[in-house]
Structure 1
Amino acid sequence: MKTDLLFGIHCHQPVDNFDKVIYEIIKKSYKPFFQTLKQYPQFKCSVHFSGWLFQFIKDKEPELFSLIKELSPQIEFFTGGFYEPILASIPSCDRISQINMLSNFIEENFNQKPKGLWLTERIWDDSIIDDLKKCDIDYVIVDDYHLIASGFNKSKLNGYFLTEDSNNKIALFPINKDLRYIIPFASIENSMNKLRDFTNEDGKNAAIIFDDGEKFGVWPKTYEKVYEKKWLENFFQKCIEDEKINVTTFSEFYNKNKAISLAYIPTVSYHEMGEWSTLPNISKEYLELVHQHMDKEYLIRGGIWKNFFIKYDESNWIHKRALELSKTPNQSEEFKDYLFRIQCNDVLWHGVFGGIYLPNLRDNAYKYIIKCENILAVENGYKKYDINIDSYDEYKFYTPLLIVIIDPKTGGQIVEFDLRKSLFNLQNTLTRYHENYHDKIKKIEKKDSDDIIKTYEKADDEIATIHNDDNLLSTTEDIELFKDWYIKKSAIDHITDKKLNKENFKSCTFKEYGDFANQAFDVLDVTDNSIKLKRDGGIYKEEKKNTTLTKYFQFENSKIESEIEIKSEEKSIMNYLLEFNLHFQDYDVLTVNGHNIEDALHFENSQLTILDQSINKTISFHFDQCLDIYVYPVKSVSQSESGVDYTIQGIALGFAKDFSSQLNLKYYIDIQ
């Protein structure tokens, strides 16, 4: 009896990722992989490329595309959503359209009609089965953990299973986690020994590995190992020569063998995704439980992927904006294409890769959100709609040059601030969240960084995988870890005291006496170009003193006018702090009142001018009185495949004014 090796690679890059990044990945991973595969025509391989990446390669790397086409007789192509969405997170009509787009691309270019589907991030939900059958899909790639979580024996998953919903059945091929962690990180000898372990009776002897193509050349230390030291050549050669291994495809295995059994699996993904998506209030306890009882992983399941919409407000907002736009009737083909690009999964979550922490991914999502809005050509008026599904309506105001959205629930903040011609959202900021791995980050000296790299070299011909290497959480930078207790958008109202300074504003440790920054406001009045909000709250110094804060916004072309009025029973001198957080594309070419943004700044002025050379815009704030102005770059700390990322997410602007009992403050924002 032989092991049936089902080997596949999945290749994807976020929509509109930097060209230089994609070319580097093509050079280090995709091109050498297929050049190596060409040398071994007997090695059968399954391949999935996201549609937009395939189109990029076809248009800009025709030599590689022709090579893949030449190798198509030994390749089984898998379909999926064209722009790599999480299928369970988008509407049914979009799901079907995206799958058919990629299937048609494969059929037109490679003369294959795909029967297998690569499930993005292996996010399974029964709700997708009906649509998969409408797209003529027979089998889907999942993980062994999907079945383990349902109670199946880990050692008896070496084939495919059948599941059903609404009388539609589909086959599930579970990726073996051990192989996912071994290939290509272990030595050839250890890899081959593992493959031989799968020898069993027909239909239950499949060694299933279908994983990121970037592991072959882009992940740390893999290019040297896989190509320079010829690991991949040796692997292909050994698999072909080994009498106990039969290299086959998923379609051949599916057509030749019966299912192991019927299976019903929960809404789940691979084990690591459960860890990353666990909500913060229970994540520490979850990790402790997992570490104590790894032998009972089938009983310990983490979060579900959609928890990222709860965990990161910014993720939820992008997702819900896409859902809102998806409801648009009579969509043009151009509109649909922009909408599908917004649905790309990468920006919506965070694990061992940057995801929601990468500003350029969020910029790309908002670019297509604004393009969709511009196609709809609404240039004045407003729309009232519960965009983010929190039972409160948001108010979206249109001018020919701006789209501004006010969220009454979240302190009456400005939560979206779109420059329509620049296709840029100034409000694309990120709240500073606490992540569990923050506690593991350690500072090292530059001279020690080479030692960290050497930790990837575990033994002869073996390297560590980033899945479980805490050495990645080392940095030579002086990082500052701060956590925000409110959503960090704009027009936030704080009541503090005279101890406010640029340091405690930056660290979010100033004393808050009011209940206006993150509590709901009532909408008093709304017109086509204005809104008035009020909150009857309090100032809590020694005891609550009733306080009413009213704010008014008016929108005209590229200008926002606003007025703040505070009436309070508190007689002592307090400090009102109006906070704005704005996002920009390139902070190296940004100045605030003529100063570069490197650290916290303080001004006493009635005006503030931001010059942004990257989009060639000047944003100026004009107040009717002099204030203390505090400015600092908002930086996030996140992990990625390359280590610790310290990223500027925006700049925070604080406009502070003393008052006692009453305050009236007027200002306007002008964009030129």
Structure 2
Amino acid sequence: MNKLELALVFHHHQPSGNLPEMFEKAFREAYEPFVDALERHPGVRVTLHYSGALLDDIRERRPAFLEKLRALQARGQVELLGGAMYEPILAAIPDRDKLGQIRYNAEVLEEMFGVRPRGVWLAERVWEPHFPAILEAAGVKYTLLDDTQFEAIGYAPGDLLGSYLTEEEGRAVEVFPMNTELRPLLPFEPPQRFLEALRKLMPTAPETPETPLPLVVIGEDGEKFGLWEGTAQICYEGGWLDRFFEALEKATDWLSTTTLEARVKTARPLSHAYLPSGAYAEMGEWSLPLEAAAAFRAARERGVPVPRLAGGHWRNFLVKYPEVGAMQKRMAYVSRKLHNTPRAPQQAYVHLYRAQAGDAYWHAHHGGAYHNFLRFSVYRNLIEAENAVEPRKYSWLEIEYVDIDADGSEEVVVESNTMNLHFKPRSGGTLTEWDFRPRAVNLTDSFTRRREPYHAGTDLLLDHYLRRSLIDHFVGGEVSLQQFAQGDYLELGDFVHGDFEAGKYRNRVTLRRVGTVRGPAGVPVEVELKKSVRVLPKENRLEIEYKITNHGDWDIITRFGSEWNFGLLAAHAPDRYYAVGGRRVADLGSTFETRDVAQASLVDEWLGLEVSFEFEGREALLWNHPVETLVPGAPGGALEAVYQSSVTMPLWDLDLPKRRSRRLAYSVVVRER
């Protein structure tokens, strides 16, 4: 009788920076009962992968769980698969960090289990053709991809019952195709139904001593066995997982379970295969622009086979979401810093690797880059990495022109012992990042309100510019706060998106633009706007000064506002709020205006800081409102408002006669509480 081998691979992952209660829930409802079931069925061999955040949690907090895994591995029932430590998308990080993350993960697993892994799990199965050289250099012998990535270049399902060898510059790794047709059966169909479908994959040709046993690889998320809605009842209360393992143990006349490591030792690859850049099929849809994604989805619904749909490239996310692109380039900038620092401490690299956790760098049908706590974790770890290699005990400040985001235009980068500031002259002269280093927080992290495929038929508030800070608005006096918050107003100037000239002198950054502001009857009037930011690291203070000059032939009467976005994680938490004149007035999710303001603050007691605006000489009208995006709470679930930032915008009435100038000044200071 012909026989078949089955390799079951279970991938377990929680994002670095995820909420502690999610870790507890995942172990309680999925990871621990799954391992308990394996203990009851010693005849079932599996390969398990745990991403770095879970390995850290297991090492630090779950000794009993660790001992169970060690026992399962010692009796040959479980293989622990390696990977890049904190589950980065390999395409998003520098090659030196690909090597570093994989080697670090291997060291951790060897320390925990006494065996160095030879295989790796690739986050989101994102693949690029140059990976084999890097993987081989990191000591990797094999990895896994979806079968659709093989079928896209002409392989038939019957060709994929084993591994293939792929290489770059003679450096080779084995790649196991994972069957995607059988995957949806687990754990929703009876175990016997799965075995019947599996048996149909058995080749009809008789086996020979020279040919390895046909192999089917099933790769599944561990969260699908207890954490997905309803699966805890199916798998454990209803006994599905025990019945599934029992069925595998009883089918030994034609089926044997194996680990990937065991298979590599006993069977040769079928042949060579050279795979193009790609990922699983849905990722190709999600990375596309809105209209292209709709066309892709329509083609799939018409029945066009998935392998024939090219989809997008994962790196498209860096363009589709400029905030993600900026964060990824910021990460690469910190990586260069560390690798250029002699004897950088290991902890600095751990922070860098945690900042490379892939979840924050893309978005599908829920979560991802829209989750502020994931971006918060990225920036916190990047700042901690910098703190580990740069002096903090004395005051210093440097201002440089650096093209951090690789767009061909230089940013102005201010770095000091207490603050980092990044200005983008070619995009409104805006402040794109303001790091407060003592608390390792990017104060101005936000995300723009934009339309997504799941918004069809939904009324949305959309932004016409990226949510940054130090954004210069000219609006009519008739525009209300509600209209501004909804984006339903006319921008009278061309400064929000315009190009600025940048300059630097000592501790000061200057940004200048000659643009236009609509004057009487909508006539464009030439206006020069120059803003100066003086950085005082010892005081954690920014002194902002505007000089606005009317070079035209018409007088202008308008209102000028300077917009800031502060991303402080929670809109309605009792320990995060606005204060005006030292008096608490509203939480950070509130929309309100205050007239004649001399001082106002955003307070975050959880982070232990306060951001204070101080208006000297001329009081301001202050507008405050939240920026919230609508995102499904779960795949296919109802849309939920996700807090991104709190807008604080001082405004002044501006009477600007022709050939005259006006000056406005205020300070923003951060204080620890």
When normalised by structure 1's length, the TM-score is 0.90
1:574-617, Cα deviation, whole Å (9 max, x unpaired): 22222111111443222223222343211112332222222232
Match of 1:653 in 2: 648
8 Å contact 2:6–2:257 — kept in the other structure?
yes
Match of 1:602 in 2: 593
1:181 pairs with one of 179, 184, 193: 184
- Residue 576, structure 1, aligned to residue 560, structure 2: yes
8 Å contact 1:46–1:77 — kept in the other structure?
yes
Tell me: CA distance 1:226–1:236, structure 2 relative to 1, closer, same or farther (3 Å).
same
The 5 Å alignment of 1:577-592 reads 577-587=561-571, 588=573, 589-592=575-578
Tell me: CA distance 1:103–1:372, structure 2 relative to 1, closer, same or farther (3 Å).
closer
Distance 1:226 1:282 in 2: 38
Match of 2:543 in 1: 561
- Residue 65, structure 1, aligned to residue 66, structure 2: yes
The 5 Å alignment of 1:440-519 reads 481-519=460-498
Distance 2:309 2:556 in 1: 54
TM-fit CA distance, 1:539: 2.5
Match of 1:338 in 2: 351
1:44-87, Cα deviation, whole Å (9 max, x unpaired): 00011123321321220110010011100211221111111122
Distance 2:523 2:167 in 1: 60
TM-fit CA distance, 1:223: 0.6
Amino acid at match of 2:364: G
2:324 pairs with one of 315, 320, 325: 315
Match of 1:377 in 2: 391
TM-fit CA distance, 1:226: 0.8
TM-fit CA distance, 1:651: 0.5
Distance 1:637 1:431 in 2: 11
Match of 2:513 in 1: 535
SS of the counterpart of 2:622? strand
Amino acid at match of 1:519: G
8 Å contact 1:219–1:641 — kept in the other structure?
no
8 Å contact 1:501–1:630 — kept in the other structure?
no
1:439-487, Cα deviation, whole Å (9 max, x unpaired): 166xxxxxxxxxxxxxxxxxxxxxxxxxxxxxxxxxxxxxx73111111
Distance 2:212 2:634 in 1: 36
Match of 1:78 in 2: 81
Tell me: CA distance 1:130–1:298, structure 2 relative to 1, closer, same or farther (3 Å).
same
- Residue 414, structure 1, aligned to residue 431, structure 2: yes
Q: Which runs of 5+ in 2 are unaligned?
A: 206-210
8 Å contact 1:585–1:614 — kept in the other structure?
no
Match of 2:607 in 1: 615
- Residue 298, structure 1, aligned to residue 307, structure 2: yes
The 5 Å alignment of 1:227-306 reads 227-242=236-251, 243-280=253-290, 282-292=292-302, 294-306=303-315
Distance 1:158 1:513 in 2: 64
1:599-654, Cα deviation, whole Å (9 max, x unpaired): 32111123322222222323221233233321111111112436333211110122
- Note the aligned Cα RMSD (angstroms): 2.0
Distance 2:91 2:642 in 1: 30
TM-fit CA distance, 1:406: 1.3
TM-fit CA distance, 1:155: 4.7
- Residue 434, structure 1, aligned to residue 451, structure 2: yes
Tell me: CA distance 1:204–1:603, structure 2 relative to 1, closer, same or farther (3 Å).
farther
TM-fit CA distance, 1:261: 3.3
8 Å contact 1:350–1:357 — kept in the other structure?
yes
Match of 1:667 in 2: 666
TM-fit CA distance, 1:95: 1.3
TM-fit CA distance, 1:534: 0.7
Deviates more, 1:590-599 or 1:24-33: 590-599
Amino acid at match of 1:531: V
Distance 2:633 2:248 in 1: 33
Deviates more, 1:125-134 or 1:27-36: 125-134
When normalised by structure 2's length, the TM-score is 0.90
Distance 2:132 2:440 in 1: 36
Distance 2:232 2:451 in 1: 33
Amino acid at match of 2:287: S
Distance 1:115 1:398 in 2: 41
Match of 2:629 in 1: 636
TM-fit CA distance, 1:528: 3.2
Deviates more, 1:659-668 or 1:132-141: 659-668
Match of 2:208 in 1: none
SS of the counterpart of 1:47? strand
Distance 1:611 1:78 in 2: 44
TM-fit CA distance, 1:511: 0.7
8 Å contact 1:603–1:630 — kept in the other structure?
yes
Tell me: CA distance 1:625–1:281, structure 2 relative to 1, closer, same or farther (3 Å).
farther
Match of 1:456 in 2: none
- Residue 110, structure 1, aligned to residue 121, structure 2: no
- Residue 359, structure 1, aligned to residue 372, structure 2: yes
- Residue 43, structure 1, aligned to residue 33, structure 2: no
Distance 1:114 1:255 in 2: 13
Distance 2:259 2:416 in 1: 55
TM-fit CA distance, 1:317: 1.9
1:224-263, Cα deviation, whole Å (9 max, x unpaired): 1011101110111101112332212223333433433322
Aligned length: 632
Distance 1:299 1:528 in 2: 58
Distance 2:42 2:163 in 1: 26
TM-fit CA distance, 1:89: 2.1
TM-fit CA distance, 1:518: 1.8
Amino acid at match of 2:246: Q
Distance 2:151 2:493 in 1: 49
Q: Which runs of 5+ in 1 are unaligned?
A: 442-479
8 Å contact 1:399–1:556 — kept in the other structure?
no
Distance 2:238 2:568 in 1: 43
8 Å contact 2:49–2:81 — kept in the other structure?
yes
- Residue 205, structure 1, aligned to residue 214, structure 2: yes
Tell me: CA distance 1:655–1:162, structure 2 relative to 1, closer, same or farther (3 Å).
same
1:159-200, Cα deviation, whole Å (9 max, x unpaired): 222222112222211111122222112232322222222212
Amino acid at match of 2:592: L
Amino acid at match of 1:132: L
Distance 1:353 1:231 in 2: 28
Percent identity over the alignment? 27
Tell me: CA distance 1:110–1:576, structure 2 relative to 1, closer, same or farther (3 Å).
same
TM-fit CA distance, 1:663: 3.6
Give every structure 1 segment of 4 or more consecutive aligned residues whose post-TM-superposition deviation is greater than 6 Å: none
SS of the counterpart of 1:625? coil
TM-fit CA distance, 1:516: 1.0
8 Å contact 1:428–1:583 — kept in the other structure?
yes
1:30-49, Cα deviation, whole Å (9 max, x unpaired): 10000000011110000111
TM-fit CA distance, 1:204: 7.3
Match of 1:452 in 2: none
Distance 1:16 1:647 in 2: 17
8 Å contact 2:348–2:386 — kept in the other structure?
no
